[in-house]
Each structure stands twice: as C-alpha cells, then as structure tokens.
Structure 1
Amino acid sequence: MTDYRAPVSDMTAALSVVGMADIASLPGYEDASDDMVAAILEEAGKLAGSVLSPLNALGDRQGCSITEDGRVTTPDGFPQAYQQFVEGGWNGVPFDPDFGGQGLPMLLGTALFEMWQGANMSFGLCPMLTVGSIELLTHHGSDAQKSTWLPKLISGEWTGTMNLTEPQAGSDLAAVRTKATAAPELGEGIYRIQGGKIFITHGDHDMSANIVHMVLARLPDAPQGIKGISLFIVPKFLLNEAGEPGDPNDLRVVSLEHKLGIHASPTCVMAFGDKGGAIGYLVGEENRGIEYMFTMMNNARLAVGVQGVGIAERATQAAVSYAKDRVQGPDPAKREKVSVSIIHMPDVRRMLMTMRALTQAARLITFQTAAEFDRAKAHPDEAVRATAEARAALLTPIAKAWSTDVGIQVANLGIQVHGGLGFIEETGAAQYLRDARIAAIYEGTNGIQAIDLVGRKLIRDRGTALSELVAEMRTTQADLTQVLPDLGQAFGLALDDVEAAQAWILENSDPVNMQSAATPFLNLMGLATGGWLLGKLALNAKAGTGDPNHDTARLTVAGFFLRQLLPATGGHLAAIRAGAEDLMALDEDALSPV
C-alpha cells in the first residue's frame, strides 16, 4: 500500500497559473509571499503524509462506533491527529484575524484542503464542514454570534455541521418538517428545535470539545415551501457563563449510517428535541434560512470538488508506484523477450497519463474557482469584484461536479492498473474508489450541479458570464497558437464546441431541453476549462520554470490532455443537440427490462 505524498511541486505550478502572485497583492493578503506559501505547503505536506495518511487504511477497516448512551467513537488515532491539526493552526489559515484566523487567501487554503483529502478523506470531512459553518456565520451571523462561535470554530477547537436532509426531504428542501418554536422565556432569538435529520457528516464524534450544528427548521406560521425555512445554531453542549461547553443540549445520535466508503467519517441520523426541544439560536432573519445556508453550501461545493482532486491524486500515486514494480510481459518497444514492469506497456501508459492529466486539470479548475472567490472578496475595484463573483458562480458547479467525476474515473482506472490486486482491499486501490463515490452525490448531486450551471448560470444572464470566460479563453488560444500551434488548434476546436453548445441551449431553453442538455454541457465545460488552464500551464512550462524535468512533464501532460482527451467535447455537443426526444420517448413501464 502506497503512502500519500503531497504534490507540492504540481500545486505550486497550479497556483502560479491561476494567479497566486496577483492574489497576494490584494489588500489583506500581503503575507502570502512566495516564501510563506512554499513554507506552508511544505509543512502541511508533512502533516498530511506522516500523520493523516497512515490512519487512512486503519480508519477504513475500523470505522466508527456508537455507544449505548449515544456517544460516537472515531477510529484509533483520529482524536490525536485532530489535536495536532488544531495545534498547528491549520484550520484557521484563510479566516479573519479578528477572530483568530491567519487571514491568508482561500486559494492557499484550498491547496491545503486538497492535501487533507488526499491523505485521509474521512478525516478531511470534519474540517470541511467546519469551514462552511465559519463562512455562514461570517456572512450572516450577528456580532454577538460571531464573537461567541467564530473563535473556537476558526481554531478548530469546536467543529461544525450542516443539517439539511430529512427522510422525506432529500434535495427538495421545501419538504423540511423540523420545527422551531420561539422560547421567549429563554431570551430573544432563542427557539426550541424538534425534528430529525439524516446524512449528517460528523454529526457526533470524539475529536472536539463541542459540535456546532447549523439546522434548517420551520416556524409555526412560516410560509409553505422553500421560502418558509429558517436557520439555527444548535450546539451539542450549551455554553456556560464563561462561554465554555456546559450542559448537553436536547439532541442525540440515533444511529450511524453503514456506507460504501468514508468509513472513518461518522454519518449520523440525528434527533433534535426528544425531551421538549433542543435550544437553537436564530441566524439572521426568519424564513431566510435557505439563502443563508447556500453560503455554506457553495463553500462546501468547492470543497467537495477538491475532495475529488485529492482522491484522484492519491489513486494516481498508487497506480504509478504499482506499475513501476509489477513485472509482467516483454517490452513491446524491444525485441528481447525479457519481462519488464507494466509501466512500459502503452495501454497502461494511457491509463496513467489519463489519470495524471485529469487530476491536473481538476486541480487547476478548483484552484481557479478559489482564486475568483478571493478576488471577489478582496479586490479594491468594485467592477473587478463583481466580475470575479460572477466567474466564481459560473465555475463552482463545474469545480464540484466535473472534479468529483474525475475522482471516480481516476480511482476506477487505478483499480484497473492494479489488475486483480486492485479488487483486493489490501492494496488500498478499492478504498479510493469507495471513498470517492459519495462526492458526486452530496452537497447537491452532480446532475443538480449541471442543472444549476445551465439554468442559473447560463440561461439566467443569457450567457454573459460564459461569453466573458470564453473571450479570455480565446486569448489563451491565441497565445498557444503562437508558441504551441497544435495545442492552440486543438483548444480552438473545443471552444467552437462551447460556443455552439451555448447557442443551442439559449435557443432551446424550455425546461425539458434545458435539463436534457445539462450534464453533457457540464462535461463539455469541464473539459474546455481544464484545457484552458492546462494550456496556460503548458505556456509557463515552455517559457521555463527552472526545473527542466518538471517543465517537460507538464508540457507532455498538457499536450496529452489537449490532443487526446479534449476532443471529447465534440461528443458532448452532439448529445446536447440531440435534445430530449430520446431521453423522454419511453413511458415509465417501457423503461423496465421486465
């Protein structure tokens, strides 16, 4: 089984492509110098490789357990590893210094987050939800709520969760039934929460002193549907006068879900208010909970995309290591019938090159998205902030859906490279696929991401944000054509497909055609965006970065992607133009094979 090694060199190159130097020049981010970034990546890589990675397989085998009194226990070593994580200040890297954060760019935090996910995805899920809770309270919490909850969440001493889903309300949050009843005797803005939630990641565990649940619930007189849902802070332990965890709140873990993967991450069925009502604190205004929760969800969607990158990186490392060692068959490039390792075989090379190219492309997309969030937050020019906000909104569903699909595809290829041993748990290859599979489902399934991309990000503004992105991509195409003509030509054809797809969708924007086109359009955009950023990486490598071996490797990987993977945009365009007729032609009974 191969240990994880943080890909610091590839991350540094990707940060350069998406403009880390420009981000570091923005007000508030001046501390993110090249030396500081390099030092942080190096130290984070040590934690990921030496502390988190060795727990990955153990956690998968051991899983989590629940005691008779409802306490959840994580696998051996997880609480101690989490304390090292907190003591190192890793949770607070991208957050407000006024509440104990380090004030560094989200882009740098995204690179670190990839390390946590690649080293140990089950572990990385805990700080992932905490980050979302911090973003939510930063944007929508009152000053009192910020001062009460943010310092311990930013430090990581307390962790956060997101409580949306109920048995009858999966992605349809309008069906939420959890109730909130005002408790004026306890104070203004305090409510009693009653109801049940499912699929709550790290809903309970033994790694932090308190768990701060963000819970969607409905007031008695609230409007029906999605506009009648409010958001509440519901801590595991109520705070005493000193602001420390005191009496337990009226909530409990009913059970743990038995899952395909991420066994070391407790996914909880939660009950609130069995003894009269869990104490909850209203965030913001009544009936605006969905609006507020989307701040947390948008952050989580990018983070989930980074999970896909992390798993893909780890699966690629394992597959390359195995292919170097596995001797089987003669070298097809030589006449001698001497057995060589399978990395000499062209078909194995195709799999490995596909894994590496897809991983690089997905990393660049998630980094680019994070960079746009930083620009939208910190750039002094209001017009630039607005453009970056629109760009981030456009890229987020691509970063989430395409990158998690890449995680699954790359982990699946990793099993294939291992052959029969990939199907055996001891090699670790199977765990990567099992862990990766959930990422295409949670925080909005990838189909929902595709519908969001087409319905909200393309049709709503009639393609304005996309056209601006394509114009920037055309500039890169022109640069490629000057320096690397064949790559420029390949990228130009893909951009033609993007523009043709956009035109077709805008002309056929009824709900059925729009939804039928959504997934192939997202796949097309993932390839085109990955091609754009890999093209920029190739230009940097061609100009020279100081390490000829790395430059050659990056040029080769980018060339493989643009020449051999990017042409698939034409197939996605054909699927878009085929419309909904084939999809909707059969009635429900005819779809059944019996």
Structure 2
Amino acid sequence: MGNKLCDLKDVRFVLYDLLNVEELCKSERFSDHSRETFEMTINTAEKLAVNDFAPANEPGDVIGCKWENGTVRVPSVYHEPYRKLVEGGWFCAQEKYEVGGQNVPHVVDYVCKILFFAANHNLAGYYGLTHSAAKVIEVFGSEDQKRKYMLPLYEGRFGGTMCLTEAQAGSDVGAVRSKAVKNQDGTYSIIGSKIFITGGETDLNENIIHVVLARIEGDPEGTKGLSCFIVPKIRVNDDGTLGENNDVVCPGIEHKMGMRGSSTSVLAFGDNENCRGELLGGERKGIVTMFNMMNEQRLLVGMQGIAQGSTAYLHALDFARERKQGVAAGKKEVAQDPIVVHADVRANLLWMKCYTEGIRALVLYAVFCMDRIHTAADENEKQKWNDIIEVLTPVCKAYGSDKGFEVCIKAVQVLGGYGYCSEYHVEQFARDCKITSIYEGTNGIQSLDLVNRKISMKNGRAYRTVLSQIKESIVEALEWNELIPYASDLKSYLGMLEEITEKVLNMKTAGVVELVESWASLYLEIWGDILLGWLFLWEARVARERLEESKTEHKPNGEAPDYFNEAFFTGKIITAKYYLGTLLPPVTGKLETIRKSDHAFLDMQESFFFD
C-alpha cells in the first residue's frame, strides 16, 4: 500500500482517464501546464502531507488549542508544517499569476487539498479559510483592499476567517445583530460578537483578516439589510505595515468532540468602541458577497468529509490485511487468516471503497467544471458548467460529509475494539469528520437549498443539464454488453428521479411546502445515490475500454503500455458493478417514499412528542 491518506492510483484514473484533464492544457489559461507539471504538484503535496502534516495530526489532537488572556496557541507541532505550506505557495496555487498564483487547474489543486485534509484536517482548515477570505476580496474588493489584504492572505502571511454566526443567528443568517456605524473617513465602526469562528484567533499568522457580516445602522432587518466588512485583527497601514490593535478580542474558544487542534473562537468586535472595518462589496450586498465565499467552502467541506473517509478506509484496509482472526469459509486448516477474507469485513471494506471513490470522483468532477468555465468557448458553454456546479454544490457538501462520516464509523467497526482506541487513529478521523455535516451550512440547509432553489433554477434548466450528462453516459455504456443491465437500471432510476422532481415542483407550486421540505434530506440523498451510479457506470466503461486497448497496443519489446494494470482496471469494473448492482438498488425505496406522499408527518403535532 502507498500512503494511507488517498489512493492516488484511483485519483489519476479519474484525472487522466475519466476527465482527461490534459485537454485543459490546450487552453490559454493552463497553457503553461502539462501532465508532468500536474504530477510534480501532486507528488510534492503528497510528500508534505505524509512527512509533515500526518505526523502532527495525533499530537495536535492530544495537545489541542490553548486559550489564555485573549490569545490562542495552536499545537506547537503545527508551526513547522504550516511554515512549509506558506513557503510552498499552496495558499493560491490555483489562482492567476497576477495575484501570486501558479495557474494550477482547480481539479489538480483539489487533489492536493484532499491529501492535506486527509493527513491533518485541523491544520489544513486554517489554510482553506484563508484562501476563501482572499478570494472574496479579489472578487469584490477595491485595489487598495487587494493590496493591503488579499496579497498577504494569498501569501499565507495573514490568516483569514468568515464571521457569520451569532448566538441568535446560526442557520437564520438574517437575524444577525452585529452593527456597523459609518465614520467620516469612510470606514465603519463594528460592534457585535460572533461565535464558532474557525481560526478566529491563532498564533500561526502575523495578522488575521475577518470577513464580517453586519448591518449598517438604519438598514432594514433580514438578509436584505446585511453588508460585508473587512475587519483586521491588527490594522494595516497604507504601506502594508501593521499598525495598532483593532479592538477585536477573543473571549474564549470552544471545547469540542473533535477538531481539537482547530481554534473555534468566540470573537468580540468593538467592546471599546475602537474596531474599524472596511465595506466589502457594497452596502446591503452582504449576502451576495459572503455567499461567494460560502459556496467555495461548501465544495471544500464535502471534500473534507470524504478526505477523512479516505484515510479511514485505507487504515481499515491495512488493518484487515494484517489482523488475523478465524479461518476463511470452507477452509479446513487451523491457521488463522487475515480478517479481510471474511465476508462481513470484506463487504464493509467494499462499501467504504465505493463511497470513498465515488464521492471523490463527484467532487473532482464538480471542481473540474470550474476549470471548464475558464476554457469555455462562449457564454453558453460557461453557463452550462456553472449550472452544473450550482446543482452539485449542495449534494457534494451534504452527501460527501454524511457518507464520509459513515465511512469513518465503518472503519471503527472493521478494527473492532482497536478502532475504539486512540492509538489506531480511526476514532479521531470519525470525531474530526463529524463537523463537516454541521459547519458552512448544515446538511439540512443544503437539502433545502436543493429542493427550494436549485431544481427550480432557470425553470428547471440547471438540473436538467446535469441529467443530460448522465443520459449521455448511459447511452455510451449500453454499447458494452456486460454493462447493459447496469445502464438499464440506472436509466430506470433516473426516470423515477425526473418523475418525483416534477412532483416536488408541482407540490411546491400548489403550496404543499411543509411536506416537501420534510423529504428534503431524503431527496438530496437520492441525488447523491444516482450521481454516484452515473460516475461508476462512466468509470466502468472507461476501464473496460482501457482493458480492450491493452490487447491491441504493445511496446516494441512486447510489454504492456505504461497505463495498463489489469488488476486495477478489473477492480474498477467490479467496484462499479457492486455499487450499481448492490448498493444503488435500495434507492427505489427512497423514491417510493416520496412518490407515496404519506401525510403522517403533517399530522404529528409538537405536543404528541414525549413530554
């Protein structure tokens, strides 16, 4: 086994065989790159993840963050790998040269992120948010703001946060009470408090830039009255040097189930009436501005969930190959066999393999669509890829984080009693993973986003664009006899999804909203199930094509081509068949639940719950 973070052989299959990312290099945006530079980038990230991030993961969990008199010290073992992350330019590798980036395709950058987050979710989280803060300033900021804040963030010298949540305003963003009062010099005095702020106070950076959602004094209640502000921990002078403290105080940090090396901070702004912020993106444009940042984070969080699942799966696989208990079914010898030979363990591992590989492919496909926007020939093509991203984002976030956590739990089960013990690591993966279904918009919120907004976007055109991609893959798979039954089944499930989607849309139009929203999580799960079926069918077809090509292509010395590995491609086909033939069919029960439209939920009053 290679690293126990991420199966890079499978990743390379997705990149080069499925998505054909080398085609991106023909565009002007990515013309400086090639497969060789992609490989150099991924290999460098793997070394940093394996040699520096992973060894700091368990100690960081044990040490945790320490708060004292408003200052937070992250685990000391984080400082050296973080320094290497900064020196390597990883904070903006996917950005343009003009802002210090390397023009690396987003999909290649995400492979590197998967490695970093699998190795150390806590530590990698600091850099993920810093990029998002820099990006929102790049998109909406003035030239002065980009020079003072964006560039140091992209360099990793400054840390970045996203400050939305307040005690009374969690998922209900419109209830934000933080206030902004305009000053004569054009700045704003910020007054208020925020909770659950990742990286809100740390000793990793020389400064921290908070992107804060607040309401300008006199503006209307609700989301329409919110604005976005850049609020530095330490004020930045016009020449880029640091000035005085900006009256941003951390009264404490949260003590959590997991992510103990991640500083989840309470922040108080303007207790001494001396906190200054700069407007970002226009007055009362806060939601539009902040959701540019939030949508990036939601894809990232889906990736985080499956990154933890990935390392949990590989640790469980390694354990199952080493741990000996019992003998294989039908075997007469008394010598113990590795537990991987037992049907229950092998079924658990195959389940984990399916969801790890399937969701990773889904996230990489979604991010690849971002790259396709950069290479699109016209506005119509750009809109196509953007529509796909819009629909896939809530699914990637919610389905990826939910299934990633389930993979971690199954890893604990495969290890048995050892899985419950800290020295075998998987229990930490489960604890750290759980937050991914909660932060950056709970998974319930993602489900409502899909039901209430995404499927009705552009009169349904956006979601039908995704379905058209699936239908193309079904047609291509039907050309291979061994895939016909699987492609036919997927076609049937897809037809049922179209049917219940129209049902949902019609019920919403008729005002039957509460019942529809009670199905939201189930409906999103159906989307996730079918999307994975699509990707596995696509992978099976490509793997079969590669196997057939190997029979006709030969090197002069008679060796098989470099890409050919019969066991790998055969394994891809079997994994796809297992998902399509064993794990996907239960989706019919979920579809039937919505089709039946049972009203018991509506009859259940609050008083009927146990008092």
Q: Give the TM-score range, shorter chain.
A: over 0.9
What amino acid is the match of 1:579?
Answer: S
Partners of 1:408 and 1:347 in 2: how far apart?
Answer: 20
Partner of 2:517: 515
Q: Counterpart in 2 of 1:118?
A: 118
Return the offset for 1:279: 1.1
1:469-488 deviations in whole A, cap 9, x for unaligned?
Answer: 22221121122222222332
Let me know the Cα RMSD of the aligned residues: 1.6
Q: Does residue 216 in structure 1 map to residue 213 in structure 2?
A: yes
Residue pairs, 1:108-507, within 5 angstroms: 108-184=108-184, 187-188=185-186, 190-483=187-480, 484-507=483-506
C-alpha separation in 2, matches of 1:590 and 1:26: 61
Could you state the TM-score of these two structures normalised by the residue count of structure 1?
0.96
Determine if the alignment matches structure 1 residue 25 to structure 2 residue 26.
yes
The DSSP-based 3-state class of the residue aligned with 1:328 is: coil
Q: Which amino acid aligns with 2:127?
A: P
1: CA distance between counterparts of 2:400 and 2:6?
A: 18
Alignment check: 8 A CA contact 2:148 2:238 kept: no
| Range with bigger deviation, 505-514 or 126-135 | 505-514
Greater shift, 553-562 or 34-43, is seen at 553-562
Match of 1:65 in 2: 66
One-letter code aligned to 1:239:
V
**What is the aligned partner in structure 2 of residue 35 from structure 1?**
36
Equivalent residues of 2:320, 2:415 under 8 A apart: yes
Structure 1 residue 150, shift from structure 2 partner:
1.7
Counterpart of 2:545 in structure 1 is 543
The CA distance in 1 between the partners of 2:595 and 2:92, in whole Å, is 47
Asked whether the 8 Å contact 2:6–2:307 carries over to 1, the reply is: no
SS for the counterpart of 1:329 is coil
Are the structure 2 counterparts of residues 3 and 374 from structure 1 closer, same or farther at C-alpha, using a change threshold of 3 Å?
A: closer
Distance in 1 (alpha carbons) for counterparts of 2:473 and 2:454: 23
CA contact (8 A) 2:116 2:124 kept: yes
The letter for the 1-side match of 2:474 is Q
> Deviations 1:373-415 (Å, cap 9, x if unpaired)?
2223442311100111111101100110100011111001001
Partner in structure 1 of residue 593 of structure 2:
575
- Pick which of 159-168 and 553-562 moved more: 553-562
Cα 1:302–1:243 change in 2 (3 A) is same
**1:500 touches 1:573 (CA, 8 Å); kept in 2?**
no
Could you say what secondary structure the match of 2:273 adopts? coil
Deviating beyond 6 angstroms after TM superposition, the runs of 4 or more aligned structure 1 residues are none
Which residue, out of 519, 533, 536, partners 2:535?
533
Q: Give the Cα separation in 1 of the matches to 2:416 and 2:138.
A: 48
* Offset from partner CA, 1:43-72 (integer Å, 9 cap, x none): 10110111000111111111000122x111
Q: Matches of 1:556 and 1:346 in 2, distance apart?
A: 16
Q: 1:119 to 1:410 in 2, by over 3 A?
A: same
Contact 2:320-2:340 at 8 Å conserved across structures: yes
- Kept in 2, the 8 Å contact 1:27–1:379? The answer is no
- The 2-side partners of 1:6 and 1:521 are apart by 29
The answer (yes or no) to whether the contact 2:237–2:243 under 8 Å persists in 1 is: yes
Q: For residue 575 of structure 1, report the CA deviation from its aligned partner.
A: 2.1
Q: Structure 1 residues 333, 119: closer, same or farther in 2, change over 3 A?
A: farther
Partner of 2:609: 591
TM-superposed deviation, 1:25: 3.0
Amino acid at match of 1:542: R
Contact 2:316 2:415 in 1 (8 A): yes
- Return the alpha-carbon distance in structure 1 between the equivalents of residues 297 and 39 of structure 2: 25
- The Cα of 1:556 is off from its aligned counterpart by 1.8
Q: Distance in 2 between matches of 1:452 and 1:281?
A: 30
C-alpha separation between the residues in 2 aligned to 1:252 and 1:211? 12
Aligned-residue offset at 1:24: 3.2
Distance 1:312 1:181, change over 3 A: same
For 1:79, the equivalent position in structure 2 comes to: 79
Whether contact under 8 Å (1:463, 1:502) holds in the other structure is no
Q: 1:384 to 1:460 in 2, by over 3 A?
A: closer
Q: 1:4 to 1:52 in 2, by over 3 A?
A: farther
User: Does the 8 A contact of 1:122 with 1:262 survive in 2?
Assistant: yes
Q: Displacement, 1:353?
A: 0.4
Structure 1 residue 19: deviation in Å? 4.1
Contact 2:6 2:314 in 1 (8 A): no
How high is the TM-score relative to the length of structure 2?
Answer: 0.93
Q: Is the 8 A contact 1:351 1:413 kept in 2?
A: yes
Structure 1 distance, partners of 2:571, 2:136, is 40
CA distance in 2 between partners of 1:32 and 1:354 (Å): 36
Q: 1:57–1:428: 8 Å Cα contact kept in structure 2? A: yes
1:256-294 deviation per Cα after TM superposition (whole angstroms, max 9, x unaligned): 101111110000000010111311110121111111000
Q: Does structure 1 conserve the Cα–Cα contact (< 8 Å) formed by 2:515 and 2:601? A: no
**Displacement of 1:3:** 6.9
CA 1:514–1:23 in structure 2 vs 1: closer, same or farther (change >3 Å)?
Answer: farther
- Gapped runs of 5+ residues in structure 2? 547-562
The amino acid of 2:493's aligned partner reads: A
Contact kept, 8 Å, 1:462 with 1:506, in 2: the verdict is: no
- Measure the CA separation in 2 of the matches of 1:320 and 1:243: 50
Q: Partner residue of 2:558?
A: none
- Measure, in 2, the Cα distance between the counterparts of 1:24 and 1:498: 36
* Structure 1 position 511, deviation (Å): 1.6
Higher mean displacement: 554-563 or 373-382: 373-382
CA shift, 1:333, in A, is: 4.2
Deviation of 1:419 (Å): 0.8
Q: What is the aligned partner in structure 2 of residue 93 from structure 1?
A: 93
Q: Distance in 2 between matches of 1:270 and 1:359?
A: 36
CA distance in 2, matches of 1:335, 1:497: 48
| Separation (CA, whole Å) in 1 of partners of 2:593 and 2:117 | 33
- State the alpha-carbon separation in 2 of the partners of residues 387 and 506 from structure 1: 22
